[in-house]
Structure 1
Amino acid sequence: MAPAASATPATPATPATITTLSDPADPSAADVTGARTAEAAEVISGARERIDALDDRIIGLIQERAAVSAVIQEARITSGGRRVNLSRENEVLGHYREALGKPGTSLAMTLLELCRGRI
């Protein structure tokens, strides 16, 4: 919870009261995170590690989805059907659009292309 506002004007912060990342000897934290304080750089670094882990999981799921899609395509082609079922793809597009809005449609199109190739 934030402290209550004081009626007295705030005094400007001095270098002694704020830890900044302006040390020319260690520009890496500011350059990598864009943060202006060590605390913010730490928060950003931790959050980026989480994003990287999530991205790895997402990539793995996309690869798994592509493998399942290949099984479906093979079964469809072997049975005399077409490689792509457009009505099913429209269902997928609608599902992503409902869940994520207009950008979801673009994401779904990319996902479909990754999993079945260009048509």
Structure 2
Amino acid sequence: MNDMTQTKVRRGTLDATGDGDIGGMRQRIDEIDQAMMSLWRERARLSGRIGAARLAAGGTRLVLSREQQVLRRFREGIGSEGVQLALLLLRAGRGPL
């Protein structure tokens, strides 16, 4: 191991298996997190607008069948953690019940 590699290992930026650079992977995770937060805000805005339009048209505040579709899609796509994520997304768009 050369001096630079030893320094990276001590700093925790080099994957111990040698498969890649932890710092680079963490940077990519940060980029993904930023995109997810942006998408979260956009989704909440759109969902809020849909709810407001539905109420203005005399409809209900929420549509349970639609929420069930979202929950099912996330469960099938991610698993049990997906349900928790979907519940958070739904709440962000409609607010607490």
- Please indicate, yes or no, whether the TM-score normalized by the shorter chain is above 0.5: yes
Matches within 5 A, 1:22-41: 30=11, 35=12, 39-40=14-15
1:53, 1:100 → 2: CA distance?
20
Q: When the two structures are superposed, what TM-score results if normalisation uses the length of structure 2?
A: 0.82
Higher Cα Rg, which structure: 1
Which aligned segments of 4 or more residues in structure 1 are displaced greater than 2 angstroms?
17-21, 38-42
Report the Cα offset of residue 83 of structure 1.
1.1
**1:106 alignment partner, SS class:** helix
Between the two proteins, the alignment pairs up a number of residues equal to 91
Is this contact kept in 1: 2:71–2:87, CA < 8 A? yes
Identical-residue share of aligned pairs (%): 40
**In the alignment, residue 67 of structure 1 is paired with which amino acid?**
R
1:40, CA displacement in angstroms?
2.9
Q: TM-score, normalised by structure 1?
A: 0.68
Q: Tell me how large the CA RMSD over aligned residues is.
A: 2.2
Give 2:6's aligned amino acid.
Answer: T
Q: Structure 2: which amino acid aligns with 1:84?
A: L
State the match for 2:53 in structure 1: 75
Counterpart of 1:20 in 2: which secondary structure? helix
Matches within 5 A, 1:5-24: 17=1, 19-21=5-7
Question: Between Structure 1 and Structure 2, which shows a larger proportion of helix residues?
Answer: 2
Q: Which segments of 5 or more consecutive residues in structure 1 lack a partner in the other structure? A: 1-16, 22-28
Residue 68 of structure 1 aligns to a residue whose secondary structure is helix
Larger RCO of the pair (alpha carbons < 8 Å, separation 6+):
2
- In the aligned structure 2, how far is the partner of 1:117 from the partner of 1:103? 20
